[in-house]
Amino acid sequence: MEEFPVETVVSTPEEQHESGGWVRFFLDIFETILLSAALFLVINALSARVRVDGFSMNPTLQNGEFVLINRLAYQIGTPERGDIIVFHFPLNPTQDLIKRVIGLPGDTVVANNGSILVNGERLNEPYIAAAPAYQGSWTVPEGHLFVLGDNRNDSSDSHSWGLLPQDKVIGKAVLVYWPVTDWMIISFSQMAKASQ
Q: Is 36 a catalytic residue?
A: no
Q: Is 172 a catalytic residue?
A: no
Pick the catalytic residue from 19, 56, 115, 193: 56
Q: Which residues contact 40 (CB under 8 A, 6 or more apart)?
A: none
Q: 25-29, 84-88, 147-151, 164-168: which has the minimum mean pLDDT?
A: 25-29
- Please tell me the pTM assigned to this model: 0.75
Sequential DSSP letters for the chain: ----PPP-----HHHHHHTTHHHHHHHHHHHHHHHHHHHHHHHHHHEEEEE--SSTTTTTS-TT-EEEEETTTTTSS---TT-EEEEE-TT-TTSEEEEEEEE-TT-EEEEETTEEEETTEEEE-TT-SS-----EEEE--TTEEEEE-SSGGG--SHHHH-PEEGGGEEEEEEEEEESGGG-EE--GGGS-EE--
Interatomic CA distance for residues 139 and 131, integer angstroms:
21
- Mean pLDDT, rounded, for 32-55: 76
- Mean pLDDT, rounded, for 70-97: 92
Over residues 154-195, the pLDDT tens digits come to 999 999 999 999 999 999 999 898 888 887 788 653 443 333
Pick the catalytic residue from 11, 36, 47, 99: 99
Interatomic CA distance for residues 87 and 77, integer angstroms:
16
Characterize the bridge pairing of strands 115-118 and 108-112.
antiparallel
Over residues 86-100, the pLDDT tens digits come to 999 999 989 999 999
Length, in residues, of the chain? 196
